[in-house]
Copies of this chain bind each other. A is one copy, B any other.
């Protein structure tokens, strides 16, 4: 089942995940299809454990999903979630500039934490 938390501090975890350039690059790399953790790590000059941590952050923000394939763990991109979370914010701030293809999210609630 889908996790219920989808509008509130969700945005926070997504934008924090996107704050790091390595993580953004991982997402771009996953655009081509699922990749094993090691394959991802080999594209960067930082250690595998560090990449593993980045993948953990992305997974925590639910921007990627993982599945086990024998020895390896394959990661894939949660495109729609990324587009929804970021798109929701973008259309709250500059709705004139952007248009979402799938507009099936709920409008962002007015109550903001401050």
Instruction: Choose one: B44, B45, B87, B113; the contact of A97 (CB below 8 Å).
Output: B87
Instruction: Choose one: B15, B31, B97; the contact of A93 (CB below 8 Å).
Output: B31
A interface secondary structure, majority = helix
- What's the least CB distance linking A42 to chain B, in Å? 11
Number of copies: 2
A33 interfacial by beta-carbon distance below 8 Å? no
A79 interfacial by beta-carbon distance below 8 Å? yes
List B contacts of A7 (CB < 8 A): none
Which chain A residues have a beta carbon within 8 Å of chain B's beta carbons? 11-12, 15-16, 18-19, 21, 24-25, 27-28, 31, 43-45, 77, 79-80, 82-84, 86-87, 89-90, 92-94, 96-102, 112-114
